[in-house]
Chains A and B, each alone.
Chain A
Amino acid sequence: MSGARIVAIMGKDLREFARNRFFVFITLLVLVAYVAIFWFLPDSVDETVHIGVSGTVLNTDVGGVTDGGTAGFALEVYPSEEELRAAVEEGRGDIVAGIAFPPDFLASVAAGEKPTVRLLIPAGLPAEVRLLLQGAVDEVAFSIAGSPPPVDPITEAIVLGTDRAGAQVSMQQQMRPLLLIMVLMVEVFALSSLVAIEVQERTAVAVLATPVRIVDFLAAKGIFGIILAFVEAALLGILIGAFAVNAPAVIVILLLGALIVTGFAMISGSYGKDFMGTLMISMLFMIPLMIPAFAALFPGSTPGWVKIIPTYGLVDAMIRITVDGAGWSDIAPALLMLAGWGLAAFGAGALVLRRRVATL
C-alpha cells in the first residue's frame, strides 16, 4: 500500500465532499437540528403518574393507595364519573387515566362481592399503565376486604441497558444514542453518494489506470468514510455531552459504529445508479440500523431479534456508559459484538466495491 496515494485520494474525496452543497447542508443541518432537539428535551423525569378518581371510596381510609402524597402515584378526585371522563378525554391536569368506582364499591367489597370498576383509558395509553391501574383497583379492594389481589402473569421483556424501574431515564439520555446513530446514518448516505459518483462517472477506472492499486483505493475510501462518520458523530457527541463519562470508551464505540456504517455505505454506493437509487439503497440499511436506538426509547418493549442488528451493541454500550456510568468490563461484550459486526460490514463493503470497480 502507498500512504501518499491513499492520502491523495482521501484529500480528493474531502474536496469533493466539501464542494457538494447538499452534503454540507445536510451535515450542518443534522448537527444543528440534533443538538437543538437534544437540549430541547427534558433532562429530568416526573415519575408521578396522575390518575383521576371518582366515587365514594376516597371518603374511606384505604391506606397509602389513596394518599395523594405517595411518590409516583398522585390521585385527583372528581365528584362524578362524567366529570372524570371529560377530564381524561381532554387530558386535564396531567391525568393519564381515570378510575371510576361505583357508589356501592365499599359496601360490595366489604360484603365479598365483585363490583365493577370502570377504567377510563385514553387511546394510546401504554399497556404498563393499564396494568398499573388494574393493580391500583386491586390494592384498594385488598385494603378494604383484607384478602390478596390476583397475581398478574409475568411477561418476558428485554430491557436495553438496565431496567430503570424506580430510576427513570430522562428523554435526553434516551435520545443520545439515537441521535448519535442517526448522525452516523446520514454519513452512510454522504459516503455512499461519493462512492456511487466514483463508480458511475467511472473515475475509479482512471484512478486505477495509474500506479494506484485496488487496496490503496479501498483503503482510502474506508479510512475517509470512517473519519467522516466519526468526526461528525464525535462533534455531536461533544455538543450533547456524550463524552462526560468514560470518554475513551465512547470514542471506541463511535469508531466501531463508523466502521459499520462505512461498510454499508460502500455496499450501497457500489450499486446506486443515481441520487435517488443511492438514497433508496442507503435507506435499506439505515432503517434497520436505527431500530435498536428507537427500541431504547421504550425499554421493556424490545423483541429479542433486535439484538442481532449490528448497531445493537453500539446502543447498548452507549446507554450503559452514559446512563449507568459503566466501565470497560461492563461493556466488553457489547464492544466485542460491535467490533465483529464492524469488521464484517467493512469487509463485505470492501469486497462488494472491489468487485464493482473490477467490472467497470
Chain B
Amino acid sequence: MEIPRVGPNGSGMSVTIADNRDVTTSSDSPATLAIDVDDVRFAYGDTLAVDDVSFTVAPGQILGFLGPNGAGKSTTIKMLTGQLRPDTGKISILGMDMPGQREQIQGRLGVCFEEKNLYLSMTGSENLVFFAKLFGIQGFKPEPLMERVGLSTRLDDRVSEYSKGMRQRLMVARALLNTPDVLLLDEPTAALDPVSAIGVRDIIREEAARGAAVLLTTHDMHEADDLSDHVAFINQGKILTIDTPENLKLTHGTRSVRIRARHGADIEEEVIPLDEEGAEDRIRDAVSTEGLLTIHTEEATLEDIFVEYAGRGLT
C-alpha cells in the first residue's frame, strides 16, 4: 500500500503502516536524514507501547505525531532522547546510532518535554544557564532566548512564580539553547494561551527554516495541520499513515461546499458536491442569492481522517 507524500522541501519518508508493510517514497539518503527510525519496538513488561514503527525526518522538516494519550508518542520520544532503549529496531539521529552515540547526539538535540520539568526554586535565567553548562556552552547569555519566548521581563523571577504558560515557554527556550539540529517537542503549546501558542508556533517554523528537523507530538489537529510538513497518525503503538496534511485532506475529504442563506424568516442550508454535474451553476446561483449568510468548503479535518484510520478520536 503506497501512500503518496510530497514534502515542502522535496524530502520524503518511509513508513510502516498498520499492516506492517513497508512503504517508501523517500528520495533522501540515510546520510541526509536527521531522524531515521527503523522497525522500532518497545514494550513496558507485557504491554507493547511501540510496535514496529519506522519513519524519517529530514533537516528543515516538521513531522507532526498525532495520536491520543497512550498511543506511543511519548515512548517514541523517550527512545529518541535515549531515555529508553528499543527492544528491537534501530534509531539513527544525524547519522549516529542512538543510544550507542547518545552523548554526541544529545549535544545536538533540543527536547521540550510534556511535563514541566524545570527547577522551580531557580529563576528562569538560572535554569537556562544551568542547562547551557550541561551542554558545555561557554559564555551563554540567557537574555536573547528569554526575549524570544516573551519572558524577558521575568528573567530573575523564580520559576515557582511563573504561570503554566510561562513555564511552557521557558521549556521551549530551554530546548533551543544549544541551537539544536534536531528538535523533539512533546506538546509544546499545551497550557498556552492562543497568543502565546502562536508565538511558539512561529518559533517552531523559524527553527525548521534554520534547518532543524522537528518532531512534534500533539493532540491538537489544527496545530499539526498548521505546522507540519507531514503528519503521522499513531495509535496503539502503530503508525497508521504518514502524509502531508493537504494530501490527507484531499484524499479523505469530501469535495463540497456548504451554503447557508436566509429566506424570509427561515435559514436554509445546502451542501453542493463539487464533482456533481451542474455544481458550478448551483454555486453561482447560491452566491447571487440576496440572503446569503455563509459559504464553507467541506474538506475533512485531520481529526476526521484520524477517526477513519483509527476508529477512534484523538481525545
Find out whether the CB atom of B109 lies under 8 angstroms from the CB atom of A15.
Answer: no
List the B residue with the shortest CB-CB distance to A200.
B117
The A interface, classified by DSSP as helix, strand, loop or mixed, is helix
B181 to chain A, nearest CB (A): 14
Asked if A125 lies at the interface with its beta carbon under 8 angstroms from chain B, I say no
A273 and B278 CA atoms in complex are apart in Å by 68
Find out whether the CB atom of A209 lies under 8 angstroms from the CB atom of B119.
Answer: no
A146 and B156 CA atoms in complex are apart in Å by 89
Find out whether the CB atom of A16 lies under 8 angstroms from the CB atom of B106.
Answer: no
A201 and B135 CA atoms in complex are apart in Å by 21
Find out whether the CB atom of A207 lies under 8 angstroms from the CB atom of B134.
Answer: yes
Looking at chain B, what size class is its interface with the partner chain?
20 to 34
Q: Which of B111, B117, B122 has the most chain A CB atoms inside 10 A of its CB?
A: B117
* Chain B hits for A8, CB < 8 A: 130, 133-134
Within 8 A of A (CB), among B102-133: 103-104, 106-107, 109, 111, 113, 115, 117-122, 126, 130-131, 133
Within 8 A of B (CB), among A233-264: none
* Chain A hits for B111, CB < 8 A: 206, 209
List the A residue with the shortest CB-CB distance to B111.
A209
User: CB within 8 A of B121: which of A5, A20, A205?
Assistant: A20
Asked if B174 lies at the interface with its beta carbon under 8 angstroms from chain A, I say yes
With A209-B81, A211-B103, A213-B103 in contact, is A203–B136 under 8 Å at CB? no
A332 to chain B, nearest CB (A): 42
Asked if B82 lies at the interface with its beta carbon under 8 angstroms from chain A, I say yes
Asked if A12 lies at the interface with its beta carbon under 8 angstroms from chain B, I say yes
A15 and B123 CA atoms in complex are apart in Å by 11
User: CB within 8 A of A201: which of B81, B103, B120, B133?
Assistant: B120
A206 and B82 CA atoms in complex are apart in Å by 11
With A205-B113, A206-B174 in contact, is A360–B121 under 8 Å at CB? no
User: CB within 8 A of B131: which of A4, A210, A358?
Assistant: A210
Asked if B88 lies at the interface with its beta carbon under 8 angstroms from chain A, I say no
Ranked 6 nearest A-B pairs via Cβ = A8-B133, A210-B134, A202-B117, A19-B121, A206-B117, A209-B111
Please list 12 pairs of residues, one from A and one from B, whose beta carbons are closer than 8 Å in the complex, sorted by A's number.
A4-B136, A11-B130, A12-B122, A201-B117, A201-B118, A201-B119, A202-B113, A203-B117, A205-B83, A205-B113, A209-B83, A209-B109
